[in-house]
Structure 1
Amino acid sequence: MQTLTPILPTVTAAFLASFVEVVEAFTIVLAVGVTRSWRPALTGAALALALLAALVLAFGPLLALVPITMLQFAVGVLLILFGMRWLRKAILRSVGVIALHDEEAAFSQETAILNRQANDRRADYLAGLASFKAVLLEGVEVVFIVIAVGAAHGQTLYASLGALAAFVMVMVVGLAVHRPLARVPENALKFVVGLMLTSFGIFWTGEGIGAHWPGADLALLAIFAIVALASLAMVRWLRGTYPVSARRLAR
């Protein structure tokens, strides 16, 4: 019987990670729709979603053929690498080495590109292609996260529900305000997602090599706390040792 302890982190990780990715894809689709027209914007997005669905239907069942320990180890290692990438960027943004991601700036940049292509005979095609690429690239990350955090313990359904909830929330809010979701604390979300994915990765890798975690699934919470404390300590240390002038230049 499934317990709430592993399900809640799975849903939360999938929701937060998917929320960030969907916000970034929505910004591009919105720019295409507002600048050019909604037809190429929605057509490109729909084709990307259809391709993602086909990939999931084609390769998803293959996971059932992989031995569970091998799957846990492979997924765990990938999650550590994936989570550490998110965490590294979030830490560097917190320190000021990397500029914070700005959805308004991304919207303006994409709008400027589309305006320059306005007189091109292929304008609708290029606009649809921009929408397709944005949804496909961000969608691939969402699919990977959903499979990674859910497959190792048979919780893909719960992870999918978290991702679906994020998608619906972004679409409802974004279409209601009809502008980029610039006020979303994206770096904070990426920091938390990085912590969660790294923690899941450590947990699954341990199970994959036969480790028996004290407290079973509750160990995931302890791993998260340790990774979080280490990351926050790193942020504090970097802020104290990295010169403010150098941080400004790095931007």
Structure 2
Amino acid sequence: MNDLSPILSTVTASFLASFVEVVEAFTIVLAVGVTRGWRPALTGAALALALLAALVLAFGPLLALVPIAVLQFVVGVLLILFGMRWLRKAILRSVGVIALHDEDQAFSKETAALQRQANDRRADYLAAVASFKAVLLEGVEVVFIVIAVGAAHGQTLYASLGALAAFVLVMLIGLAVHRPLARVPENALKFVVGLMLTSFGVFWTGEGLGAEWPGEDLALLGIFAIMAAASFAIVRWLRGVYPAAAEGIAR
């Protein structure tokens, strides 16, 4: 079980984080496909995926040249910063200080923007660019997450499998329902992913500095529990500070 725990945590973190990013990219590609047709939507998405693959092939092998302790420290610090960004937004959304992300609203906004460009001679080109940008921006985050959660312990393959599973699942669901995946509990997923990425970051920063964690890889669970307890305490405190916002969320 001790051998499986780092693999399971790596796959889970990569899957959940990638799932959220793929859902957001899928919403934009779907809006382009429904509004302007599937040719520009799929062309833009395919070009973005090709560019992401080229970046991985170009820079992925360079990681093998970095000493493991340095890699763990650098990746750990980046994961803390990246995870805390997700966690901060998830906490503020939970309290009602900032609005929850709504895929239906994002779909409507993108559709309206594309319809305003309908009379432009470059409409198909602009639609393909919108699809390209959405897939590229969300894809860069997926690539970072896969490399970050997998590279420090040589588990990039498992992290990649988690991301691939998320991509396949979103595509299958999306093709089946032909609408934005608005029922996905996106903020809850971002909350969990923020906790996981921050926990990985603390763990690997410690390892990079030469710390010996009690229980080795199982220490991740303890770090996650501490982060979760602290985050829920912050949410509870903020709901007392912003009662009107919290009441609006409850409604």
- TM-score grouping bracket, smaller chain normalisation: over 0.9
- Offset from partner CA, 1:192-211 (integer Å, 9 cap, x none): 00000000000000000000
Aligned match of 2:183: 183
Distance in 2 separating the partners of 1:215 and 1:177:
45
Structure 1 gap segments, 5+ residues each: none
Q: Aligned equivalents of 2:136 and 2:241: distance in 1?
A: 39
| Cα distance in 2, alignment partners of residues 5 and 105 from structure 1 | 38
- Residue 242 of structure 2 aligns with an amino acid whose one-letter code is Y
Shift of 1:243: 3.4
Find the counterpart in structure 1 of residue 27 from structure 2: 27
Normalising by structure 1, we get a TM-score of: 0.97
Residues 108-132 of structure 1: per-residue CA shift (max 9 Å, x gap): 0000000000000000000000000
Instruction: Describe the shift of the 1:166–1:85 C-alpha distance in structure 2 as closer, same or farther (beyond 3 A).
Output: same
Q: Secondary structure at the match of 1:84?
A: helix
**Following the alignment from structure 2 to structure 1, what is the Cα–Cα distance between the partners of residues 157 and 245?**
48
Counterpart CA distance in 1 for 2:9 and 2:203 is 12
Counterpart of 2:61 in structure 1 is: 61
**Counterparts of 1:62 and 1:245, CA distance in 2:** 47
Deviations 1:152-208 (A, max 9, x none): 000000000000000000000001100000000000000000000000000000000
> Hey, what's the Cα distance between the residues in 1 that align with 2:195 and 2:55?
28
Using the alignment, how far apart are the partners of 1:150 and 1:225 within structure 2?
Answer: 21
Q: Tell me the equivalent position of 1:46.
A: 46
TM-score by length of 2: 0.97
Q: Could you give the per-residue CA deviations for residues 198-248 of structure 1, whole angstroms, max 9, x where no partner exists?
A: 000000000000000001001011000000000001101110122316986
CA contact (8 A) 2:27 2:107 kept: yes
The amino acid that maps onto 2:169 is M
* Correspondence for 2:122: 122
What is the rounded CA distance, in whole Å, between the counterparts of 1:42 and 1:177 in structure 2? 18
Alignment match, 2:207: 207
Go from structure 1 to structure 2 and tell me whether the alpha carbon gap of 1:94 and 1:4 turns closer, same or farther (over 3 Å shift).
same
The whole-number CA distance in structure 1 between the counterparts of 2:245 and 2:210 is 48
Whole-Å separation in 2 of the counterparts to 1:10 and 1:221:
12
Give runs of aligned pairs for residues 200-239 of structure 1, distance below 5 A.
200-239=200-239
Aligned-residue offset at 1:89: 0.1
Q: In 1, Cα distance between the equivalents of 2:126 and 2:74?
A: 38
2:171 alignment partner in structure 1: 171
SS of the equivalent of 2:100 reads coil
Q: Does the 8 Å CA contact 1:33/1:41 hold for their aligned counterparts?
A: yes
Q: How many residues align?
A: 247
Give me the identity figure in percent. Answer: 87
Distance in 1 between the 2:163 and 2:198 partners?
A: 18
